[in-house]
Amino acid sequence: MLQIYNTLSKEKAPFVPLNEGKIKMYVCGITVYDFCHIGHARVMVAFDVITRYLRSQGWDVDYVRNITDVDDKIIKRAAENGESPEQLTQRMIAAMHEDEAKLSVLRPSQEPRATAHIDDIIALVATLIEKGFAYPASNGDVYYRVEKFASYGKLTNKNIDELRSGARVGVEAAKESPLDFVLWKAAKEGEVSWDSPWGKGRPGWHIECSAMSKCCLGDTFDIHGGGPDLPFPHHENEIAQSEAANGCTYVNTWMHAGPVRVNSEKMSKSLGNFFTIRDVLEKYNAEVVRFFLARVHYRTYIDYSEDSLKEARVMLERFYQALRGVEINDTVIENDFDARFVEAMDDDFNTPKAISVLFELVNELNKASREGTPDAGMLAAQLKRLGGILGLLQQDPAAFLKGEDKEGELSSDEIEALIQQRAEAKKAKNFAESDRIRDELSAQGVILKDTREGTTWFRES
């Protein structure tokens, strides 16, 4: 039975959906003011793997991932660029979709944008005011009364008294309490804004997700996910807003992906160790990056380094080497690999254990290939199918192993030309020249394999 670790309860528990066979899942998406970084990729891939697996087991998954397209950072960056916020967000959304496609991340079922839900946001704020959980302030903002929500802090075990004692007093004179957070922000001169009962303004960040999730999935849904920096205050505030307004449980299961560190340090622009997805994909094959992200349990931190990417490349090559030259046979073979893979994934989506099962399957495939048994084609089909659940192993093995042409390396055309010269040398019985070309290619990291059908090649990691 599927078990999921719940951030709220701090333990794994059997997953019981609100509606049999259906899963309603909301994951906090990107604030689109810049290109997506490797931390974003980690969350994207983690919940893509989760969604793919659930669907492979017959679940009907309604996967909602929002886009924050109005925000202080967006307004500031657009002004710096001399463009409108809409122009900036449209460019960044297009870039995000390009990055996702390269990483084989499927598009969510629904992708709501905050600016398309302004009416829903205003209605939710009005409900909170009516119920006494929010108040319009003298500065034109609307704030949430944190201390009125008795269970505030339950997701992250925050104590309201400790929060109060640690809060900065007098940060905003219009607030009743320094703990209160903004739901609706009064517009400043020249800023994008919308009409509301409290004057022109725009939504605060936290209220956007409460409104969009309610609109897309209802008052209560099964799973809410996000990155490691979101439990406090963002998700804590979402719970306070939604449960106060709707009078019911907001989310049954909370899931959070682990952080990405760079050479064991926190990733930040100030440390000079900040990498966008585009930076990474300029150096590494996209499937290698996806494998690197997927092979670590989604709740565990990932250490990004040159060595860890190279290791991922070597591991992925083992799969494609096993698949290369094997004729796929879709006849189902009887073994326990499927059951063990499912057992691993049912244990809170344990991808490291699932991938270890795939490596055992590779060993069986290699053995069958060496012995020339008909099981090889069936095992190869099983490997591709199970790998596909993780969004992996769907490329042509020979194409993957040849790799992408990179600056400073022999191009594919140059390699093919040298292989042809070697073939002509062998035909002329000039074996010294044939060996010289093989050695030249080997020195460049190109490995040749001679078969009856001709010579194939791949790049060594």
Contacts of 33 (CB under 8 A, 6+ apart): 71, 73, 74, 76, 77, 78, 88, 89, 92
Q: How far apart are the C-alpha atoms of 158 and 149, rounded to whole Å?
A: 13
- The answer on whether 209 is annotated among ligand-binding residues is yes
Cα-only R_g, the chain: 27
Q: How far apart are the C-alpha atoms of 209 and 235, rounded to whole Å?
A: 9
The 142-144 sheet, strands edge to edge: 134-136, 142-144, 181-186, 201-203
Q: Residue 131 half-sphere exposure, CB side, CA atoms within 13 Å? A: 19
Cβ distance 26 to 217 under 8 Å?
yes
Contacts of 213 (CB under 8 A, 6+ apart): 26, 64, 66, 221, 224, 238, 242
Burial class (CB in 10 A: 0-12, 13-18, 19+), 265: exposed
Q: Which residues pair with 31 in a beta bridge?
A: 68
Burial class (CB in 10 A: 0-12, 13-18, 19+), 69: buried
- The answer on whether 97 is annotated among ligand-binding residues is no
Buried b (16+ CB within 10 A) or exposed e, 212-224: bbbbbbeebbbbb
- The answer on whether 306 is annotated among ligand-binding residues is no
> Per the structure block, which two tokens stand in for 115?
């600016």
Residue written as token pair 């907001």:
250
Distance (Å) of CA 175 to CA 16, 22, 172, 178, 179? 41, 42, 6, 6, 8
Q: How far apart are the C-alpha atoms of 102 and 285, rounded to whole Å?
A: 9
Q: How far apart are the C-alpha atoms of 378 and 384, rounded to whole Å?
A: 10
Three-state DSSP class for residue 449: strand
- The answer on whether 269 is annotated among ligand-binding residues is yes
- The answer on whether 453 is annotated among ligand-binding residues is no
> Per the structure block, which two tokens stand in for 90?
């449209």
- The binding site consists of 28, 209, 234, 238, 269
- The binding site for Zn(2+) consists of 28, 209, 234, 238
- The binding site for ATP consists of 269
